[in-house]
Amino acid sequence: MKLRNSLGALACLPLLTGAPVLAAADSGSSADAAPVFEQPPAGTPNFTGKWAISKPGAHLLTANGSEPPLTAAGKAEYARRQAALKNGDRKIDPVSTCLMHGIPRLLYAPYPFLILQTTRNINFVHEVNHTYRNIYWGTMPPTDADPTYLGSALAHFDGKTLVIDSVAFNDLTWLDYSGLPHGEKLTVEERYTLSNPQTVNGSVTITDPDFYTAPWTTRFTLKRQPGMDLKESVCMDTHQM
């Protein structure tokens, strides 16, 4: 159990990438018009919208299509999980009991998600079991944070590319649906680039010396899902993750 700690968050106050731009959401000017609110500065790529990954549920491979470079410990744990899954032991999978997916697996869940980008932070709100990440702007997330399923993350722009760095993960999640392992030394770098307004070319770099002999990178594609409304998905009802 973790007590609420309001001071721990002070280490990651918003770091703005430029002056905020006040933008009305709609053109209406009546009392019913949407309020003025802060949107990303002009020229900053805007990821706000509804998205889904083009190949959900994937087994992660490196960018050149090879198996991730597991250490001996990594190979043993992965083999144990694979064998259990082949034997029909679905309960070995943490999401079978509705635990959070972890990162990057959450991105690969076969459900859409919202990205909500503001000057304050960038939020990934996933349909699957209403899981969200609330990521403030900055670099170098504090490594002394308590370990969590989704890690401690900060986001910044590298040119036109959105970069999210995450540390302080617990070891209760799988990296992908096939059971790729990780430990508490895991760090994840996600990179998101709009190749056109409807498409994100993304990559995830995994570093965990206990389970992988070297950092490795996998690539993914996101597509916008206009007109789609996120549904209420409650894992405790369905146990379908």
Q: By the criterion CB under 8 A, which residues form the site for another protein?
A: 1-7, 9-10, 12-14, 25-26, 31-38, 48, 97-100, 114, 116, 118, 120-121, 123, 125, 129-132, 134, 136, 146, 148-150, 172, 229-232, 234-237
CB of 174 to another protein, least distance (A): 15
Nearer to another protein by Cβ, of 120 and 223: the residue is 120
Residue 230 CA neighbour count, 13 Å, CB half: 23
CB of 8 to another protein, least distance (A): 8
- The residue type found at 197 is P
Q: Cα angle at 23 between 19 and 29, to 5 degrees?
A: 150
Nearer to another protein by Cβ, of 148 and 207: the residue is 148
CB of 70 to another protein, least distance (A): 27
The secondary structure of residue 73, as a DSSP letter, is H
CB of 37 to another protein, least distance (A): 4
CB of 179 to another protein, least distance (A): 19
What one-character-per-residue DSSP string does 75-121 give?
Answer: HHHHHHHHHHHHTT-GGGSGGGGT----TTGGGGSSS-EEEEE-SSE
Query: How far is it, in rounded angstroms, from Cα 148 to Cα 1?
Result: 11
Nearer to another protein by Cβ, of 72 and 236: the residue is 236
Nearer to another protein by Cβ, of 65 and 88: the residue is 88
Nearer to another protein by Cβ, of 38 and 210: the residue is 38
Q: Residues of 206-227 as b/e, b for ≥16 C-beta within 10 angstroms? A: bbbeebbeeebbbebebebbee
Contact status, residue 30 vs residue 94, Cβ threshold 8 Å: no
Specify the 3-state DSSP secondary structure of 74: helix
The encoded tokens of residue 125 equal 């709100």
Specify the residue for token string 């950092």. 215
Nearer to another protein by Cβ, of 37 and 67: the residue is 37
CB of 20 to another protein, least distance (A): 10
